[in-house]
Amino acid sequence: MSRIESVKDALLSLGIQESSELFYNPDYDLLIAHETSPELTGAARGVMT
């Protein structure tokens, strides 16, 4: 089994089925940009306080 297949299997076991991109160890600015993206809704979207 290739490394990418094992990562996909691990994500599936956690209930993550649809992901278009994976980010490994992003820096703080990239993480905040993704977490507060206006494209996210509900509990998936972070809010700066």
Alpha helix segments (H runs only) across the chain: 3-13, 28-35
Position 40 in a domain:
yes
Identify the domain containing residue 29 by its residue range: 21-49
Predicted confidence (pLDDT) per residue in 5-49, tens digit: 888 899 999 998 887 788 889 999 999 999 999 999 998 899 888
Position 2 in a domain:
no
Q: Report the pLDDT value the prediction gives residue 14, as an integer from 0 to 100.
A: 94
With H, G, I as helix, E, B as strand and everything else as coil, classify residue 20.
coil
Distances in Å between the alpha carbon of 18 and those of 12, 21, 48, 49?
9, 9, 26, 29
Q: Report the pLDDT value the prediction gives residue 23, as an integer from 0 to 100.
A: 83
Position 39 in a domain:
yes
Would you say 17 and 27 are in contact if contact means Cβ atoms under 8 Å apart? no
Residues belonging to the chain:
49
On whether the pTM is more than 0.85, the answer is no
Position 10 in a domain:
no
Residue 4 has phi, psi (to 5 degrees) of -65, -35
